[in-house]
Structure 1
């Protein structure tokens, strides 16, 4: 049996996720209550029989490293193969941060070449899907391909977010354009590639010698297509979602709440594994009311939860209402407050009788109009909101804020309260440095 090394690209900053990826790598962003986004790629690997996995990290990797650890939840804590966490480093040849997806793999080419593998499966760490990679690898072998791309049908209006490709009758890719302003088709690249190991090394070395670009989609794949190399597309018809924007992240969560969701978290034949803390069962109190929601372990529900996803440890107090929202780990919604169409990051505390996401004013966010324009309000990690605060739509409230940071009890739609922690921390660090210099 051919041996496969999976390489998961998990170093991206994910700016389009705004506050959610401000202090963590995008693959470490929580999803569906108890999971992290990277859990889906890792689970796909082990469920496909691939047990040699390298995860390339870079941007704010601490929570991602802590989550993956030695790979035990995915049965990847092995003496041979298993999980490998690889970061950029300064050495004799490698001396820079990853400049793109291809550069990230190129900087780890020494590790890849030392691995006893025939094929390298390159995956994005920020997509939600269930996929057995074995048929794709078999397709690659049967077609004698140099590289095989996973491909899905995407809406034409979303084509500018993807690599758009065209194929002939055999599945050979005859054109490829990364994120075109005017897409010519609807067949989009999933960011999944199967390379012959030697082919991968050759194209990366050639690209480096030619001082080419640093990305698979922008540089490597188009060049291979132009050279008429054997680039094939493997059609994938299952559920696949790029949750790289606030809107797509919210929509993917809401879709989980359908009576027959397109993505079934409860399929026993394809378990999504994760690192899960030991917490007590969720407790739904006698006055609580819950409809069409996902409630994780450790939650205490005394109020009302409608069409929402709650991560572990969330507390909804008496008279509070959570509607069409995503509430991450250990948030507290105090008595009498209403949360409507909002995303609350970890450990947010909402004061009493607050209204978060209120009114019909859909003014886009003044600072992030392209990211917050559909009525979703964001609140950053560990922020504590004062009692009686009223917040409109498309608002952004930063991280680590305290009640005294709010100078008014109303935040109009489209407005932002910035994260002051970084600035305060920077000033403290500068003062400490000056004091150390004096001493």
Structure 2
């Protein structure tokens, strides 16, 4: 290697014009001072003919200057135009002329996510996933044996090259805070990357807890504004989906929107997600946001009469549900929360409809991939059952190009002996002996001996201690067994009376959508029939 990490000039000797132009002294490196990371520069322009990516490289850069070769440094979002002719270090005019060619390339800048900060909300209030959320927030709920729901959203960010991530937590947040701090503190997110928890707090200026998502962001703007970013990406922390946020951000920048809302067509959503019903025009402009209740009339959310009249005149109004995913320009967010709506608590019902009313440009990004908002126990159960078969279109845990990250626990492999297991997922560190398991998801560190389980989701946390686990001779079907449950011998859990809804907290279980959930730490005596 040549000094300062540059290639030895001799390796380019066959390219006479380039060898002549190659810097021979430290003064020649002045041409690269526009970037602080010279190692990012791409030297493939020295031999396009022998470079595998020459065709794609040339086409990508065709919109830029033809007189100079260019290289894109995503970390600072600019195009570097590199001269092919020698630079005279003593000629200040030639050097200053070169620096005037350092300019922004819009076609590539729109795809960069370096200037984006993600804000993830670990929901916990009014959760429909009760009783799984009695002692944890939604984002901390186990999924697919080895993961937590919040891992899905954070992995989407990392795979989209968004590495500045804040997680806002408040209700039942102990488990979630612990997981986030342990799982992502040592992950290689680059020099500027981080996953930082912002827990709800009280201050001399405001002695209340967070009143909602918008209130939380407003009270923490002093933290968020420290970063020189252009957009904030607001995300729920408990949804199950895979999305390349680069495409969402590209659509946002291309449209010149102040706010872009990810949305799904109403016909593809089984139930009201409760995040806002969007009326979208033919050019994807959001003309109204409504709070549409299930089985009831539509209720306008801060919608002016002029907006409704304009919408009716134009014939706009294709129906989409908001996914609770928003890209918001930095200046738009500050104006909305500080000046236009200083008392708004929620994005979905107050801030976003208010943005339309004050004349901001709000666009929709239509997403047609798999998306599950985990609105209830039945949805959570069915998602796990679909995951075990790896049959969810566009989503799986085995994608090497978009992996799902979580806390590395360094557990031993599961030990299975004399067992029949079909169409199931088994987590790490399990001991399974002399049993039959079918259509089930078994969480890590589970111990199962001499029993039958069908259509079961078993959460993380059981041990080999006899009081904790599932007793011998037990039969369990279509159930969720939470962490550290103690199930005695010869217990039968199959919802024999077909109960759809009901709470039996005193007995250690509950019904939701016909699914039996055995509570965390519950004790089910021997010979119990549920």
* Aligned residue in 1 for 2:414: 282
Question: How many Å separate the matches in 1 of 2:212 and 2:330?
Answer: 19
Show CA shifts across 1:205-247 (max 9, x none): 13544x3x31111101111223342000001121111013111
Give TM-score scaled by structure 1 length.
0.82
* Aligned residue in 1 for 2:120: 8
Deviation at 1:373, TM superposition (A): 4.4
Q: Secondary structure at the match of 1:313?
A: coil
**Are residue 145 (structure 1) and residue 266 (structure 2) matched?**
no
Q: How many equivalent residue pairs?
A: 385
Question: How many Å separate the matches in 1 of 2:202 and 2:326?
Answer: 27
Give the unaligned 5+ runs of structure 2: 1-76, 78-113, 299-316, 463-468
- Say if 2:280 and 2:318, in contact at 8 Å, map to a contact too: no
Q: Secondary structure at the match of 1:89?
A: coil
2:324 to 185, 191, 202: 191
Show CA shifts across 1:175-216 (max 9, x none): 11134334686511111110110100100113544x3x3111
- Say if 2:183 and 2:408, in contact at 8 Å, map to a contact too: no
Show CA shifts across 1:146-192 (max 9, x none): 00001113446513634111211111101111343346865111111
Show CA shifts across 1:412-434 (max 9, x none): xxxxxxxxxxxxxxxxxxxxxxx
2:286 to 138, 155, 173: 173
Q: Secondary structure at the match of 1:151?
A: strand
Deviation at 1:360, TM superposition (A): 4.5
Deviation at 1:61, TM superposition (A): 1.6
**Are residue 118 (structure 1) and residue 230 (structure 2) matched?**
yes
Q: Secondary structure at the match of 2:338?
A: helix
Question: How many Å separate the matches in 1 of 2:426 and 2:511?
Answer: 26
Q: Secondary structure at the match of 2:288?
A: strand
Give TM-score scaled by structure 2 length.
0.69
Q: Secondary structure at the match of 1:159?
A: coil
* Aligned residue in 2 for 1:80: 192
Question: How many Å separate the matches in 1 of 2:270 and 2:371?
Answer: 17
Q: Which structure has the larger Rg?
A: 2
**Are residue 385 (structure 1) and residue 495 (structure 2) matched?**
no
**Are residue 295 (structure 1) and residue 416 (structure 2) matched?**
no
Question: How many Å separate the matches in 2 of 1:361 and 1:372?
Answer: 9
- Say if 2:447 and 2:470, in contact at 8 Å, map to a contact too: yes
2:471 to 331, 334, 341: 334
- Say if 1:160 and 1:182, in contact at 8 Å, map to a contact too: no
Deviation at 1:88, TM superposition (A): 2.2
Deviation at 1:43, TM superposition (A): 0.5
Question: How many Å separate the matches in 1 of 2:173 and 2:145?
Answer: 21
Given the superposition, is the C-alpha separation of residues 363 and 44 from structure 1 closer, same or farther in structure 2, using an over 3 Å criterion? closer
Given the superposition, is the C-alpha separation of residues 54 and 76 from structure 1 closer, same or farther in structure 2, using an over 3 Å criterion? farther
- Say if 1:71 and 1:77, in contact at 8 Å, map to a contact too: no
Q: Following TM superposition, where does structure 1 have runs of at least 4 consecutive aligned residues deviating by more than 6 angstroms?
A: none
Question: How many Å separate the matches in 2 of 1:261 and 1:74?
Answer: 31
Deviation at 1:38, TM superposition (A): 0.3
Show CA shifts across 1:341-361 (max 9, x none): 111111112111000124243
Question: How many Å separate the matches in 2 of 1:208 and 1:387?
Answer: 58
